[in-house]
Amino acid sequence: DADVTQTPRNRITKTGKRIMLECSQTKGHDRMYWYRQDPGLGLRLIYYSFDVKDINKGEISDGYSVSRQAQAKFSLSLESAIPNQTALYFCATSDLTDREGELFFGEGSRLTVL
């Protein structure tokens, strides 16, 4: 089983719908992140959380919200999806004590907004 699990892996939805992407991890890491990846733009940070009570906006948080329900779970919501939120979304974790800050990614959630 993967250490960082994202659900759903693929989702097609319509403009205006509410969507939630879920992430759970078994690595015991404190830090969790949501990125989106678009061709030509690379990975961009949406939100990150360094522990259960800590939520921070990243580079492109508009139109998104997150919830850190537990150390192991970090969900991303699109309250009213729009077509330019079509992208590949990655959840990632890192260890607070790891000086290198290596990120461990889930397999990605491909979202298409029609």
Partner 1 sequence: RKEVEQDPGPFNVPEGATVAFNCTYSNSASQSFFWYRQDCRKEPKLLMSVYSSGNEDGRFTAQLNRASQYISLLIRDSKLSDSATYLCVVNRANKLIFGTGTLLAVQP
Binding stretches for partner 1 (CB under 8 A): 35, 40-45, 48, 50, 58, 90, 100-103, 105-108
Rg (CA), the chain: 13
| Closest to partner 1 by CB, 18 or 27 | 27
DSSP state of 60: T
Sort strands 54-57 and 65-70 into parallel, antiparallel or unpaired.
unpaired
Sort 110 into a burial class: Cβ within 10 Å, 0-12 / 13-18 / 19+: middle
Q: Least distance from C-beta 77 to partner 1, angstroms?
A: 21
Tell me which amino acid residue 90 is.
F
Q: Least distance from C-beta 101 to partner 1, angstroms?
A: 5
| Closest to partner 1 by CB, 8 or 18 | 8
| Closest to partner 1 by CB, 103 or 113 | 103
Q: Least distance from C-beta 14 to partner 1, angstroms?
A: 24
What order do you get walking across the sheet with 4-7 strand by strand?
4-7, 19-25, 73-78, 65-70
Q: Least distance from C-beta 60 to partner 1, angstroms?
A: 12
| Closest to partner 1 by CB, 58 or 63 | 58
